[in-house]
Amino acid sequence: MKNFQLLLIALIFQFSLQAQIDGSDLWFSESSLNSQNYLLKPKSVVVSDAEGRITLASNELLHGLNRLFKTSIKTKHKVSKESVWLSLSVNSDIRELIDPKELDELGSDGFIIKYIDEKKSVLITGNTEIAVLYGVFHYLRSLQTIQVNKDDLNIIEIPKYKIRILNHWDNLDGSVERGYAGRSIWRWNELPEKISPRYHEYAKVNASIGINGTVLNNVNANPQILSTEYLQKVNAIAKVLRPYGIKVYLSVNFASPAVLGGLENASPKNEQVKEWWKEKVKEIYDLIPDFGGFLVKANSEGQPGPMDYGCTHADGANLLADALQPYGGIVMWRAFVYNPKGNDRARQAYEEFYPLDGQFRQNVMIQVKNGPVDFQPREPFSPLFGAMKTTQLMPELQITQEYLGFSDHLVYLGTLYQEFLQSDTYADGEGATVARVTEGSISNDHLSGIAGVANIGLDNNWCGHHFAQANWYVFGRLAWNPDLDVEMIADEWTRQTLTQDDKAVDAIVKVMMNSREATVNYMTPLGLHHLMGWDHHYGPEPWCEIEGARPDWLPTYYHKADSLGIGFNRSSSGSNAVEQYQAPLISMFDNVSTCPEKYLLWFHHVPWNYQMKSGLTLWNQLCLKYQQGVDEVRRSQEMWNTMEPFIDEKRFAEVEQKIAIQLKEAIWWKDACLLYFQTFSNQPFPKGVEKPIYKLDELKKQKFNLKHHN
């Protein structure tokens, strides 16, 4: 009987442990703790700070260490051997140990982690509480992901971008535009009275990867967000995020003075409008003294803007910038604009913004999507980067997988971000990568920032797909330092989130690293883009024609397949979008034989029988690319099937099911695109390409069911 009871207790314990692991802990998962690994096991945490300014950092450190080493160490105030010592740099002890010049260079967010031999302790220090907190998270991460040896512990970390910000496309009714992880985490109807525990968790996990700002609401902004009622709610969120160094920003609707304020118009020329913004901004700062500023989508996709009044983007941005300036607030003005009448959507942001270079106030940044069209699986970088020499540009990356299979497909975006950030713009000769021209090291502008459109929702695991968490993680790590190796980041994430088993980690990281290329291959290889259904952006609809829809929303506008070939001619004989790049990129992209094949059909309309570098014809190469995409997903499925011993039951099964969906849909993509393009190429599929399982007529009739994704 006793044995039976014990067995029952053990089973219940096991069950409750399993039940806990559902991905809700993100990269603080209980499943991947392995205290055997660590060479450095501190006996105490020492805090030299009588005023209690680094209490949050020391609590996080204690919590993290006790969790990792399964101990219950405590805080002391005097440095003793084998401790981790936290201190602000103003402390005179620190200034004796570390060169004050080095400390000055840390700025407000940088930190030092150093083994101090004479104290036999690890010191974590920085100029501010937040810097010490970042140092704590870095230290904990190192313990869990690399073999830390005290003797070579001498880390200096200074973030490259000053503003590292998430953009939530969350609506006030709780829905999330292009969100695939459930409803919005902001529960507006309960605020300001009720504070969801998720806000605290959100603050902590973001701080752990260095994020220091968040825009709470959708760029297609509801003017109500600026009402006094909503500002109280915003303030309640700001209070929770503040201790973790996260500032709150809002997307604003340019017509707010008219819609919310009842003015006749929202023109930048109208004195009453200027006054309205000043008053509104004052109201905000009276409530939230460290409010970050505004994000604006103007004169784009039906949103109001300064051009409605014969003014420019600069007039509009400066209107808001002037109101924010006295409080240190900033404007992030989006360059995502396009006009249905233009002949090439890829040219338009540049055409509207480049002539305005130099006209924006110092506290304005222009937020530019990574590619010239719209978050496609692959695009060349936007030519605005490197072109606007006296305006601070801020990259906008998409973390939510709007065009990459939503939260159903395993796609690690680290490789996409890296490809973009390391693209050479040649703005200042060779080596002027997007990262360098935006982080400010070339132009030395005082502002710099990078934004990621969040993939966060109320789902238990926050992101819909367990692996989508890695995209949030890698965005934060690259915002801190865009030169970090994304394979290392994938390794880090896997060890903290899924497993510590070396072989399993290697296998998982390999799949992650190949996953984006696989997706490009089964969706839009060789520079193809926007083949998705025009409204849902999910499955393949390269044939899509909708009466009354804007042509530049339809796939046929982008692929231009005909009996001669396929691709958008953006060369000098076509729309000449190539001219917006700097030399030598212009001629490299312009010439079909020097254009990198991954961008071939982005820049050229190429004959079906054109000979590719492999010696294959374009048609055969295209077919084999689609097949490679499918094969890679199959490989990832095989890999995952061997992971069962290393991953907890629930997450193993959930990822297994998602990969099964991904494989089915990779085949769907391949069949749909190849069968449709075959009606133009009139050629058979080459050897090595699997026989289609779908029929074109049936695919064309099938209406994609969006409900499946909510």
Q: Under the rule (CB under 6 A), what is the footprint of ligand BDP? A: 177-178, 219-220, 297, 336, 374-375, 402
Q: Return the number of the residue (366 or 622) whose C-beta is nearest ligand BDP.
A: 366
Pick the closest to residue 182 from 406, 486, 501 (CA basis). Answer: 406
CB of 178 to ligand BDP, least distance (A): 5
Q: Return the number of the residue (205 or 531) whose C-beta is nearest ligand BDP.
A: 531
CB of 279 to ligand BDP, least distance (A): 28
CB of 626 to ligand BDP, least distance (A): 24
Q: Return the number of the residue (208 or 400) whose C-beta is nearest ligand BDP.
A: 400
Map tokens 């106030």 to a residue: 361
Q: Return the number of the residue (338 or 589) whose C-beta is nearest ligand BDP.
A: 338
Query: What are the percentages of helix, strand and coil residues in the chain, rounded to 5?
Result: 45, 10, 45
Q: What is the CA radius of gyration of the chain?
A: 26
Distant-in-sequence, close-in-space partners of 687: CB < 8 Å, separation ≥ 6: none
Q: Which helix (H) or strand (E) holds 318?
A: helix 313-324
Half-sphere exposure in the Cβ direction for 128 (13 Å, CA): 13
Cα 438 to Cα 449: distance, rounded to the nearest angstrom: 7
Kindly state the tokens that stand for 459.
């789902």
Kindly state the tokens that stand for 660.
């099964």
483 is catalytic: no
Q: Return the number of the residue (139 or 338) whose C-beta is nearest ligand BDP.
A: 338
Question: What DSSP string describes 247-293?
Answer: EEEEEE-TTHHHHTT--S---TT-HHHHHHHHHHHHHHHHH-TT--E
Contact 166, 211 (CB under 8 A): yes
Sign of CA dihedral 630, 632, 638, 641: negative
H, E, C per residue of 117-132: HHHCEEEEEECCHHHH
Instruction: Give the distance, in angstroms, between the CA of residue 704 and the centroid of all CA atoms in the same chain.
Output: 27
Length of the chain: 710
- One-letter amino acid identity for 266? A
CB of 365 to ligand BDP, least distance (A): 16
Cα 512 to Cα 518: distance, rounded to the nearest angstrom: 10
Contact 110, 102 (CB under 8 A): no
Q: Return the number of the residue (185 or 219) whose C-beta is nearest ligand BDP.
A: 219
CB of 570 to ligand BDP, least distance (A): 20
Q: Return the number of the residue (219 or 554) whose C-beta is nearest ligand BDP.
A: 219
- C-alpha triplet 149, 153, 157: angle, nearest 5°: 140
- One-letter amino acid identity for 463? C
**Contacts made by residues 425-433, CB under 8 angstroms, sequence distance 24+:** 425/381, 425/385, 425/386, 425/387, 425/581, 425/582, 425/585, 426/386, 426/581, 426/582, 426/583, 426/584, 426/585, 427/385, 427/386, 427/387, 427/389, 427/582, 428/386, 432/386
Q: Return the number of the residue (402 or 632) whose C-beta is nearest ligand BDP.
A: 402
CB of 524 to ligand BDP, least distance (A): 15
Cα 503 to Cα 396: distance, rounded to the nearest angstrom: 35
Q: What is the dihedral of CA 698, 704, 705, 706, to 10 degrees?
A: 170
Q: Return the number of the residue (308 or 445) whose C-beta is nearest ligand BDP.
A: 308
CB of 417 to ligand BDP, least distance (A): 17
CB of 301 to ligand BDP, least distance (A): 6
Q: Return the number of the residue (136 or 368) whose C-beta is nearest ligand BDP.
A: 368
Contact 334, 298 (CB under 8 A): yes
487 is catalytic: no
Burial 58-69 (b: 16+ CB within 10 A, else e): bebbbebbeebb
Kindly state the tokens that stand for 51.
């005023």
Q: Which of 190, 264, 301, 562 is catalytic?
A: 301
579 is catalytic: no
CB of 484 to ligand BDP, least distance (A): 26
- One-letter amino acid identity for 389? K
Q: Which of 402, 492, 541, 665 is catalytic?
A: 402
CB of 374 to ligand BDP, least distance (A): 5
CB of 336 to ligand BDP, least distance (A): 5
Q: Return the number of the residue (379 or 492) whose C-beta is nearest ligand BDP.
A: 379
Show which residues are catalytic: 301, 374, 402
